[in-house]
Chains A and B, each alone.
Chain A
Amino acid sequence: MAKKVLQVIETAYRGTLEEQDDTVVWLTHAMRGAGLHTDVLLRGNAANYPVTAQDASGLEFGGRKQTQPPRIADDLARLIEKGVSVYVVTDDLDRRGIQTSDLIRGLKSVGSAELPKLFGGYDQIWHW
């Protein structure tokens, strides 16, 4: 039977401007496309990734403009559209002053105390 893997993403904004995405969100898209049964849990600073007001546009280096800045909230929304469950840890939202109205739709909330139960539903936990 196919393995079910939970991707726990906590490291945020690392190389996102050079890559024009978050590389683990990107990898999750690619692995989902390759048939992996997988979901995502956002924790730590990555709890900020579903905030719709993110705007990384406008960078320019010596006149060379970045035309395709990262749109991480949109990338997460596309994962949800593909049927991937995207969880976010509510404690991490609260700690950062993030309100539910700040976020994309379709997320699933989970408290940190509920993580053992959530992990129980997966064969493997890949902690990025």
Chain B
Amino acid sequence: MPKYLLVESRDPSETNDIGYFYDLAAALAGEGHAVTLFLVQNGVFPARRSAMSEPIGRAAKTGVEVLADEFSLRERGITSDRLVSGVKPAPLDVVIDQLAEGRKALWH
């Protein structure tokens, strides 16, 4: 079964189209695919516990692996103890790993 890598670079305050991408990740996971939602750039803002975090936590509960770029977190002063449950910090290398693995890769 194909695996997916979804890279989200934006956050809900920039565009309300973010929900589409979180929902897509959850729907793909619901079909039984292994799905990584990799947050990068401003896409990591909802990873810090806040009113913006709820949809990310929901996606994680559906089985989506939610990772947040370590550099983007550090660049924004978001420490790991402030992350919403279900989100893990990860190096950008993961994106290269999963591209090389042949995952279907979508950037948003």
Q: How many residues of B contact A (CB 8 A)?
A: 16
Q: Mark B22-42, 1 if CB is under 8 A from A, else 0.
A: 011001101101000000000
Interface residue? A23 (CB, 8 A): no
Give residues 1-46 of B contacting A (CB, 8 Å).
2, 4, 17, 20, 23-24, 27-28, 30-31, 33
SS class, residues of chain B in contact with chain A: mixed
Binds B, one of A27-35, A63-71, A79-87, A110-118: A110-118
- Tell me whether A119 and B28 are in contact in the complex, defined as CB-CB below 8 angstroms, given that A124-B104, A125-B104, A127-B107 are known contacts: yes
Most B CB contacts (10 A, CB to CB) among A113, A116, A117, A122 go to: A116
Interface residue? A8 (CB, 8 A): yes
- A10's contact among B4, B17, B28, B33, by CB below 8 Å, is which? B17
Which residues in B have their C-beta under 8 angstroms from that of A8?
106
Which residues in A have their C-beta under 8 angstroms from that of B17?
10, 44
Which residues in A have their C-beta under 8 angstroms from that of B33?
116
Q: Report the interface size class on chain A.
A: 10 to 19
Interface residue? B108 (CB, 8 A): yes
Minimum Cβ distance to chain A for residue B103 (Å): 10
Which residues in B have their C-beta under 8 angstroms from that of A122?
104
- Tell me whether A119 and B23 are in contact in the complex, defined as CB-CB below 8 angstroms, given that A10-B17, A44-B17 are known contacts: no
CA distance A43 to B107 in the complex (A): 14
- Tell me whether A125 and B28 are in contact in the complex, defined as CB-CB below 8 angstroms, given that A44-B17, A44-B20 are known contacts: no
- Identify the B interface with A (CB < 8 A): 2, 4, 17, 20, 23-24, 27-28, 30-31, 33, 104-108
- Identify the A interface with B (CB < 8 A): 8, 10, 43-44, 112-113, 115-117, 119-120, 122-125, 127
